Structure 1
Amino acid sequence: MKKLIILSTILLALISCAVREQPEFLGVEHIKIEEYSKKQITINAKALFKNPNNIGGKLITNDLIVYVNDNKVATVKAATFDVPAKKDFTIPLTTTIPTDSLLKGRNLTSIIGSLLTKDLKVQYIGNIEYKVLGFSKTYNIDKTEHIKIKL
């Protein structure tokens, strides 16, 4: 009888903590230039998610590539993010772009055009992966935003 009660308790705990739905990717927002210098430009953005599950998980953002004016300039480097249970949450996407990568060949022409129009096209393309209890889901990201340049 004691074993049956323990087994029932474990099964009830597993069922109540099950991943019933995958977290919902809501989008990428607040893309902006955080700081700039002669050596580098730092761009920040936030990926928005909603987790309807009673348990969290982990998000991995190793495959996001940043394009500026349709030119690949950097890859987002972020630590693994712990997903909270039953909550809306954001993960920061910070990218540091060396200015010398913007000033090469075709990039230079597009940057000069951006300076004249005071508009910079920033695009995030890649994947964010969610993992929990052996379950995995990959979210495809393709977000473009035009940032106004203040001189």
Structure 2
Amino acid sequence: MKNAIIVATLLFLGACTRPEDAPQFIGIENIEVSKIMGTNAVLKAEAIFYNPNDVKMKLRKVNIDIELEGKKIGVINQEFTTKVPALSEFRVPLNASFDITEIGLLNGIISILGGKKVAVHYKGFVKVSVHGYPATVPIDFEEEVRM
């Protein structure tokens, strides 16, 4: 009887596998300023990921620093319980707040009026879980965005 319980436990644990590959960060789209209050602005955006695994996951946390032209302007720090389908791209809605004075007023006006491209760097991590096993996915991504 004891051996049967041990074998059943080993089979169960063998079926609960960790993901082979971490979800891939593709980029951020649909960036828009949703609110401005004094010198603070709130950005809404969608982070795009791809799950290369043949198992579903749950997205638990996103923690990403945002740098504009090499200067930290904000942080995305959100917790989720979002289901991530296997072998597919998925989108995560994000909110980030930042201090407009960190960008520089003149640079901001020139960027908006001139449609200037600026370098945006995202660095941090995403936490997911597969069958209860946690995994941390590092994020280090840079792109040019037209303001």
- Whether TM-score is above 0.5 comes out as yes
Counterpart of 1:77 in structure 2 is 77
Q: Is the 8 A contact 2:57 2:128 kept in 1?
A: no
Q: Give the Cα separation in 2 of the matches to 1:131 and 1:35.
A: 27
Structure 1 stretches lacking a partner, 5+ long? none
Q: How has the CA–CA distance of structure 1 residues 90 and 137 changed in structure 2, closer, same or farther, with 3 Å as cutoff?
A: same
Seen in structure 2, the aligned counterparts of structure 1 residues 12 and 54 have a Cα distance that, compared at 3 Å, is farther
Normalised by the size of structure 2, how large is the TM-score?
0.71
CA distance in 2, matches of 1:130, 1:48: 12
Larger Rg: 1
Is contact 2:62–2:127 with CA below 8 Å preserved after alignment? no
Q: 1:135 to 1:38 in 2, by over 3 A?
A: closer
Q: Report what 1:130 is aligned to.
A: 127
Q: Distance in 2 between matches of 1:58 and 1:41?
A: 22
Over 3 Å counting, the alpha-carbon distance change for 1:44 and 1:136 in structure 2 is: same
Q: For structure 2, list consecutive stretches of 5 or more residues without a partner in the other structure.
A: none
CA change 1:109–1:100 in 2 (3 A) is closer
Paired amino acid for 1:139: P
RMSD, aligned α-carbons: 3.0
**Displacement of 1:22 after TM fit?**
2.7
Identity of aligned residues (%): 12
- Tell me the matched-pair count: 142
Counterpart code for 1:138: V
